[in-house]
Structure 1
Amino acid sequence: MSDRVYIVTGAAKGIGFACAQRLVADGHRVVLADMDTEAGDKSAADLAAGNDKAIFVECDVSDPLHVHNLIAETLGSFGRIDGLINNAGIALKGGSLDLSIEDFDRVLAVNLRGAFLVSQAVAKYMVKEIDDREDRSRLTDRPYAIVNMSSINEQVAIPDYIAYTMSKGGMRQMTRAMAIELAPYGIRVNAIGPGSIKTDMLASVNSDKKAQKKLLSRTPLGRPGHPDEVASVAAFLLSEESSYITGQTIYPDGGRLALNYTMPVAEDEDDA
């Protein structure tokens, strides 16, 4: 079913933009939400070229007023909300011994509080729409879905990014709890746990051969992933193709979570 309306947070660049791009290509309408207004405006304009499929809304997901405005702008522009991709997230370096309270609060505010606020607002809209139906016998006639962008770090830890790791662990449990709560309404809630994906977060690795080898040593498929590959999973989880999946996390990680040892990486001729 095409021409649905989806909100994608953190959509100005990277995985979020790839998800928005995939949804528009599938015939849907998309609201790109982000704090980066310059990149967000450009991304929405690129996607909306020749059509009315995409708009940009500036949004700090950790701020309830911004979230309220995001919902209002979406309904004002497109008249409905069929799904959400909670992709907004940040990672600030610091371990348990040196992370500042300010950085800890900021990461949790965006990654976990923000995901909860947007999910709550969207879920309330969906539940009201369902409750207003005269006939609730066929909840799948207009299926609703929420997808949370988690990480493999909901399962494995990075000690010097403790707040980020904690936020993703919390997102896993939020996904499960919301999935159970919203299941009677036919609203599905799932998560995606990417491994190493070619985004700005991985930019420092691209110029560091030692870091590249370390990354590949823990990735059985032998390469980092592409944002489009994550977007494909998101599109699947929003579609009827995943109609009996809820409360789950799917991991596009190149096999990393299945690995209990490091993979040998061939030496480059230049290193020999």
Structure 2
Amino acid sequence: MPDHAQRLAGRVALITGGSRGIGRAVAERFVREGAEVGIGHRQDAESADEALASLKAIRPNSPIAIDGDITSETVADAMILAMVARFGRLDILVNNAGFQTETPGADFDADRFRAVIDVDLMGAAWLSRAAIRHFLSRPGGGTIINTTSVHQIIPKPGYAAYAAAKAGLGHLTRTLALEFADRGIRVNAVGPGAVLTDMNDAWKDDPAARAAVEAHIPMGFAAAPDDIAPVFAFLASDEARYITGQTLYACGGLTLYGEFRQNWSS
């Protein structure tokens, strides 16, 4: 990306789950495009320090890290207030924090199911509420971008909580977008497919397992976080000023149902 591309100059962004994976790549991209950035994390000080060092190496614009449990309403409110206290305003919220764990439909653990919903859906809801209140408190509106997944629309057997959370987050995106479209607030989502992050440690470093995953991807390869970050930067920028309520799937074609590449149904 050319150094002169400063689409986000003067903007302030909070990126949850920003210490690693897609969130860190988004933070780095935003800084390259001129934004002031805060990265949210939960008890991940070592990765947060590494991420801050990486951001400052790109541009020493005083990025900050905020340790907070987004499943708490009061903590979510405090994270938004911390950004406003540090930078004077917040313009962009990226709800990226999330995790998955097995929750088989006939035998899931209730606490495990609830934990996924609390982080992947409720945390985004609490932060969105706080961000929207701030956006409405001053001129200029604001932008929210949620990290969903291809599993917003593709079922994931054995991971019912994750699929339910991402589907819910997709519809939260659309609902908030419609509710606040006439007040300068845009709400969109990015739906990644298979990405080489810690969440996919089970297969990303195992050549045979990775090949099995990539065989299902029409484009034939799993994404790096840097393949996903530009999608967030576009949706955060004025180039997307007429886009709201949409999920942009960055998935290598997974949502095209690749098993239908050869016609077998008619």
Confirm or deny a common fold (TM above 0.5): yes
Aligned to 1:77: 86
Q: Do structure 1's residue 47 and structure 2's residue 55 form an aligned pair? A: yes
SS at match of 1:251: strand
Letter in structure 2 aligned against 1:5? V
Aligned to 2:14: 7
Shift of 1:201: 1.2
Shift of 1:128: 1.4
Letter in structure 1 aligned against 2:96? N
Percent of pairs with identical residues: 35
- The CA RMSD over aligned residues, in Å, is 1.6
- Residue-by-residue CA offset, 1:32-80 (whole Å, 9 max, x unaligned): 0010122113312331246234100101111122212211211111111
Match of 1:17 among 13, 24, 44: 24
Larger Rg: 1
Superposition pairs of residues 1-272 of structure 1, within 5 angstroms: 1=7, 2-35=9-42, 36-49=44-57, 51-130=60-139, 142=140, 144-261=142-259
| Distance of aligned partners of 1:4 and 1:207 in 2 relative to their CA distance in 1, 3 Å threshold | closer
| 2-structure distance, mates of 1:88, 1:213 | 27
Letter in structure 2 aligned against 1:246? T
| 1-structure distance, mates of 2:62, 2:194 | 30
SS at match of 2:259: coil
Tell me if structure 2 keeps the 8 A contact 1:45–1:55.
no
SS at match of 2:138: helix
Aligned to 1:270: none
Q: Give unpaired runs (5+ residues) of structure 2.
A: 1-6
| 2-structure distance, mates of 1:100, 1:213 | 31
| 2-structure distance, mates of 1:181, 1:143 | 13
- Residue-by-residue CA offset, 1:66-101 (whole Å, 9 max, x unaligned): 212211211111111011110000101121112100
Aligned to 1:135: none
| 2-structure distance, mates of 1:263, 1:212 | 21
Shift of 1:262: 7.3
Letter in structure 1 aligned against 2:151? N
- Residue-by-residue CA offset, 1:6-56 (whole Å, 9 max, x unaligned): 000000100000000000011110010010122113312331246234100
Letter in structure 1 aligned against 2:150? I
Range 198-207 or range 224-233, more displaced:
198-207
| Distance of aligned partners of 1:209 and 1:229 in 2 relative to their CA distance in 1, 3 Å threshold | closer
Tell me if structure 2 keeps the 8 A contact 1:216–1:263.
no
Tell me if structure 1 keeps the 8 A contact 2:190–2:247.
yes
Tell me if structure 2 keeps the 8 A contact 1:218–1:262.
no
Tell me if structure 2 keeps the 8 A contact 1:147–1:189.
yes
Shift of 1:214: 2.3
| 2-structure distance, mates of 1:26, 1:215 | 33
SS at match of 1:218: coil
| 2-structure distance, mates of 1:22, 1:245 | 20
Tell me if structure 2 keeps the 8 A contact 1:191–1:250.
yes
| 1-structure distance, mates of 2:239, 2:21 | 25
Number of residue equivalences: 253
| 2-structure distance, mates of 1:117, 1:257 | 29
